[in-house]
Structure 1
Amino acid sequence: MTPDQGRTGQEPTAHEPTDRSPAPNAAPSLRPLVAEDVYRLALPGDPTLHPAGDRIVYTLTTQDAERDRPVTELWEVDAVAGPARRLTTGPSDSSARWSPDGDRLAFLRAPEAGDGPAQLHVMPASGGATLPLTELPLGAGAPVWSPDGTRIAFSAPVTPSDTIDPNAPLVIDRVDHKIDGLGRRGDIHVHVHVLDTRTGKTTRHTNGEFDAGSPAWSPDGRQLAFVAASGPDADLTGHSAAYVLDLEDGEPAEGAEGADRPRRAPSLRPLGSGMATAGAVTWFPDASALLVTGNASIRASHLRLFRVPLDGGPTVDLTAEFDRNVMPGGGGYPGAPATPVGDAVVFCAREHGSTRLYRLELDGTITRLPLTPDAGVAGCSIAEKVGRAAVTLADVDTFGEIAVIDLATGVATRRTEHTAEALAGVLVRRTQAREFVISDGTRVDGYLMRDPDAPTPGPLLVDLHGGPHNAWARHADPYHPYHQILAALGWTILTLNIRGSDGYGEEFFTAALGAWGKADERDVLEPVAELIAEGLVDPARVALTGYSYGGYLTCWLSARSDVFAAAVPGGVVTDLRTVLGPSDCGGLLVDSELLDEQALVANSPITEVARVTVPTLILHGAADDRCPPAQAEQWFHALRTRGVPVRLVLYPGQSHLFILDGRPSHRVDYTRRVVAWVTEHTSSRNAL
């Protein structure tokens, strides 16, 4: 399928999964991947399994080169056999959810022209006309069906006036006044709504100067659990909690009018003693307690699963003895919300970089489902009656495909082949796992990508992940195509899960708290020295890149070491003192990560900038509210005025995560610039 198919009203296209054996690491019939292949990517995600367990609807994101945008459509595939087929033609359809009886499919759809927010829609399971369900001024969030299928809960942004004047002054009273990707939000807050599918009426059930979301129905459909940061200083403390709302209680809020008038409940109170934050929430089948993903502290630590009784009893940490980070899913962090299944809970956690599925029994026993080694899970939908789950499963040869998992055996069956179809004739190189033992005894996982026939010693690119608590995995990666391109040019690519990376236990996860750069720099420099000593790498041709925290560490290391011939930091933080206010998460940076205000100076790359001599290319989204562009500009100015070769590239309109979901032309440009910069500056250094 080419990127532009399916957007002209033609009949749905069918794709039968093929029984292709994994391609060898080098095959003469396959060409190397190139930057323009970004336009050919087809990435499935967010599977939802029919209640009967026989059909899967999922999103498929492709790239519209002509309009320079990603396009997301809904596709369907049978759980056992048969081809995948397109259900909708986008351009922005997402968050599909089956009704409990399996007769209808609710989902979000944004207007074709991009002029307006996403609204809830519904379509018959058998196909047919799609009907809009909401027309809210600021749009709606993902649908959550009530157990009887008569109502849909969702969160949605609202303002006191339900209108936005783009020219009105922004009055700011809280530090959480912006969100990366959405910009400044003024007096906008997100609240819980319920739509009656029989009458079409929408009612808002929370109200106030706080955000409430992640609604979850009780088994009898009389109550809604949700998460809110409703404390008076929640923007400063970062605290959030789970709440339960009785839908049959409460009166309309004073002064509220219209169909979506908010209701006030008489007895809302936070649940979960001993918890500092609450995220994804759902109900245990007997409705006696909530299953909540959260933390006991604001300080950076593993997410855990808590049993929170509704009767006020003690909160129980169900994963207290499980030394891994629970992964509920999110932008750049694959996973899925935990789901009770009978007398157990199925959840995601990261193991050595890959997100895996686990099963938690009532006695506290936790077992990992025996999926393919090096496979990674993103998104999980369960049909309990048939003991089956649908997931997006990435492995060493695919960027992610829809797969069905037998929950009793852990056996996974891949049901789509979008990677093979989109990149037919293109070689997708595998990485090889490598462990490095650092001088203090710490073991650091790395992954090497290279052409085994490339001459040695050769050039090396070290790529550092963000977070700082993200992690590299061995499965195929669609977001860093320059790895594949450089490997075809004879480079070795080294990715490292340094201290602070996820998937190696809490002690490793928190090892760089309060010591950014200083605690983890040896985890980069010593593996590079080892590869040089082995004769694999030319010491004059070593380049360094990284994004977000990886961009921060790239700047830090370019000041602390002279081993690098070229540096390409992206989405950078360079001055921790000046990022606190402008960043959408800067307010909690000291309490959660740095632990001491003294680190704002001591651990800032800008403090060491006078030592930098390496030619540097800075790549940054111009609308980045996570790591604001001023951080990139400050680094650029400091290097330029010191005579260091430097270039700054800003991508208009692009947020922090644009390298994942931004304009395809910008992602292609990013790829080309990384390749050009490191090849140019390592070649010139070698010539000297």
Structure 2
Amino acid sequence: MSRPLAIDDLYRFAVPGDPDLSPDGERVVYTLTTQDAAQDRPVSCLWEVRADGGPPRRLTCGPADSSPRWSPDGTSVAFLREGRLHLLPAAGGEAVPVGGDDHQHGPPVWSPDGTRIACSALVPRKDENAPVVVDRLWYKADGAGLLGQGGVHVFVIDVASGDTRRLTSGDIRAGAPAWSPDGTRLAFAAALADDRDLTGRYPVQVIDATAEGAEPRAAGFTAGTAGEVVWYADGTALLVSGRTTVSAGHEELFRLPLDGSEPVPLTTSLDRNVMTGGPGYPGARPAFVGDDILFCARDRGVTRLYRADAAGITELPLPAGTGIGGCSVAAKAGRAALITADRATFGEVALLDLGTGEVTALTGHTADALPDVTLYPVTEREFTVSDGTRVHGFLIRDPGAPAGGPLLVDVHGGPHNAWAPHADAAHLYHQELAARGWTILALNIRGSDGYGEDFYTAAVGAWGEADERDILEPVRELIGEGLVHPRRVALTGYSYGGFMSCWLSARSDVFAAVVPGGVVTDLRSDAGTADIGPPLTEIEIGGLDRQAELSPLTYVDGVRAPTLILHGDADERCPAGQAEEWFHALRVRGVPVRLVRYPGASHLFILTGRPSHRADYCRRVVDWVTEHTVLDGRGADHE
């Protein structure tokens, strides 16, 4: 007999990610993340599943194994164990460390001949207790803390000897490198100009990987921001994700010739944001299939798979409702390994035949881990707000729940992220509240990704002002339909959603309870204290006057709703001082308020942090909104 998903079920989750398909297309190595209750930590191990079927098998025991990458000859897998490079024989055996450095490596990248591995790596401070001396901004990063002037550099490790060579120097932040087809050069994104911390520019660099003392040279995107870099087969150009200007808007794919010519846009006609992947932003690195390009982009909340060829761009017809959370291509085998998600699964490994389009599921981790659980359905809704804008979103509720019950509005982060209609391993309070008769409304408001660039940029320079109606008017519509009770409406959100929760609670009396998480409340102080504060604030908001006008703290006198603030103590993206300012402002004004701080927790702790913190976060949301939306005994029909 099935039951609803409970918050404590997070200790049973088994979620796959980061697939890598062997060169012959026969074996998929991937990570599987579970939770260790005794140690209070996530555990990531390497698993393997064969393309021809059979049960998956575990290859390593973790607890922090990640980024598996097959060697070009398919005889070994390079991976990271707690940030250090290791090799695992494909035929079986123990993993062995490679290289003698103590750096925190990024994903390994094999040279075409399989003799070397390149990666970007964080160079740690030599003495954690020594003063940190900095001359530029961006001297810290969420999840890593203070970086000082150590930087993130490009390294090459000789596989046979373990000899490690650093190719870059100075105070730089290098992105993931890519080998040229002949194995002589590496391309990567990195800012080298003296004013790099002020401009936000992140050009593409190319460096000779064979010569001692070689210096990187800028190859393009000198006025823009580059992301993932992939070489064309003839070595004359690079496939680059990014933007040619430092501005808000869609990330696109470009062909960047190495003869000094301007980048050529490849995906503008799609009018969708290219998704290269990251925590909370599902996608995958673009890859070549012959002359065609396989890449991910988001549409109406779902990350989809596309193919660009000489005739244009087409979406690959995956099973209805399927979203992509990872993709690895074995071009010669005509196959791709995918991480797929849908309304019933948190993620599974699947195999895509690039010729026929057939998708074959290879794992069933969600069903194995939660065989007795059934998720409440997600239904789509669209609302037309007063200026004619169409706002798309999702309702989660028990179909048997009576009308006139409580409503939780949840605002996503970003602001350029989006809700998806898939099983959600982070916001477990959705299912818990649905089991108690609540309706959950998850709206992709102005600024959300997946609805075209005009919609994506519609709240730039107008956070809160432009998009508040996208929340308030749909709520009024649901109240008018009789689906929810007008005095039992609660509001929550994280990151940008935390900003909007504070903003709306100061400018509206609709909400009976508010739970902002990972908040920004004063855009001026956030600009000077967040790890990416200045570029983000200037691009998204503007100057100091506008920052003041759009700060929730400016309107705090209007807050009446009981407020629970949830925040990570080690959050460098939205520093904890933002939560303290809101807490102080509400407390001295006599508003019922509580602040909960999670020790050691970064901004992404609700996705990747301690399971005890994640469970506590979800329980507190449930308890707070339940407590503060109880009617006063005058009856559900009283207004």
Normalised by the length of structure 1, the TM-score is 0.91
* Structure 2: distance between partners of 1:685 and 1:92: 50
1:390 is aligned to: 337
1:264 correspondence with 2:214: yes
Letter in 1 for 2:466: A
* Structure 2: distance between partners of 1:589 and 1:219: 36
Which range is displaced more, 294-303 or 407-416?
407-416
1:287 is aligned to: 235
Q: Residue 143 of structure 2: which of 159, 176, 181 is its match?
A: 181
Letter in 2 for 1:287: G
1:233 is aligned to: 195
2:347 is aligned to: 400
| 8 Å Cα contact 1:393-1:401 kept in structure 2 | yes
* Structure 2: distance between partners of 1:166 and 1:269: 32
Letter in 2 for 1:324: R
| 8 Å Cα contact 2:116-2:158 kept in structure 1 | yes
2:281 is aligned to: 333
2:418 is aligned to: 471
Letter in 2 for 1:146: S
Q: Secondary structure at the match of 2:460?
A: coil
Residue 351 of structure 1 deviates from its aligned partner by: 0.4
Matches within 5 A, 1:234-633: 234-249=196-211, 251=212, 263-265=213-215, 268-272=216-220, 275-363=223-311, 365-633=312-580
Residue 410 of structure 1 deviates from its aligned partner by: 2.8
1:119 is aligned to: 84
| 8 Å Cα contact 1:374-1:473 kept in structure 2 | no
Report the count of equivalent residues. Answer: 635
Q: Secondary structure at the match of 2:148?
A: coil
Q: Secondary structure at the match of 2:219?
A: coil
Letter in 1 for 2:159: T
Q: Residue 108 of structure 1: which of 74, 80, 91 is its match?
A: 80
Q: Residue 204 of structure 1: which of 153, 158, 166 is its match?
A: 166
Letter in 2 for 1:239: R
| 8 Å Cα contact 1:555-1:574 kept in structure 2 | yes
* Structure 2: distance between partners of 1:274 and 1:209: 18
* Structure 2: distance between partners of 1:524 and 1:336: 31
Letter in 1 for 2:166: R
Residue 319 of structure 1 deviates from its aligned partner by: 1.6
1:67 correspondence with 2:53: no
| 8 Å Cα contact 2:419-2:442 kept in structure 1 | yes
| 8 Å Cα contact 2:488-2:511 kept in structure 1 | yes
| 8 Å Cα contact 1:403-1:413 kept in structure 2 | yes
2:100 is aligned to: 135
Residue 135 of structure 1 deviates from its aligned partner by: 2.9
Q: Deviations over 1:438-490 (max 9, x none)?
A: 11111111100111111111100000000000000111111100000000000
| 8 Å Cα contact 1:72-1:94 kept in structure 2 | yes
Q: Secondary structure at the match of 2:218?
A: coil
Q: Secondary structure at the match of 2:548?
A: helix
2:152 is aligned to: 190
Letter in 1 for 2:383: F
* Structure 2: distance between partners of 1:539 and 1:411: 48
Q: Deviations over 1:510-550 (max 9, x none)?
A: 00000000100000001101111111000010000000000
Normalised by the length of structure 2, the TM-score is 0.98
- Please, what is the CA RMSD of the aligned residues? 1.3
1:32 is aligned to: 4
* Structure 2: distance between partners of 1:181 and 1:237: 23
Distance 1:73 1:419, change over 3 A: same
* Structure 1: distance between partners of 2:634 and 2:522: 34
Residue 687 of structure 1 deviates from its aligned partner by: 5.3
Residue 80 of structure 1 deviates from its aligned partner by: 2.5
Distance 1:570 1:633, change over 3 A: same
Q: Deviations over 1:265-298 (max 9, x none)?
A: 3xx3211257511110010111110001111221
2:582 is aligned to: 635
Runs of 4+ in 1 over 6 A off after TM superposition: none
Residue 211 of structure 1 deviates from its aligned partner by: 1.8
1:97 is aligned to: 69
Letter in 1 for 2:242: G
Distance 1:275 1:173, change over 3 A: closer
* Structure 1: distance between partners of 2:586 and 2:290: 59
Letter in 2 for 1:291: L
Residue 636 of structure 1 deviates from its aligned partner by: 0.6
* Structure 1: distance between partners of 2:456 and 2:245: 15
Letter in 2 for 1:416: T
* Structure 2: distance between partners of 1:685 and 1:310: 70
2:109 is aligned to: 144
1:80 correspondence with 2:52: yes
Q: Secondary structure at the match of 1:451?
A: coil
| 8 Å Cα contact 2:523-2:537 kept in structure 1 | no
* Structure 2: distance between partners of 1:98 and 1:348: 22
| 8 Å Cα contact 1:514-1:596 kept in structure 2 | no
1:256 is aligned to: none
* Structure 2: distance between partners of 1:686 and 1:544: 22
Q: Deviations over 1:226-251 (max 9, x none)?
A: 111111111110111112212233x3
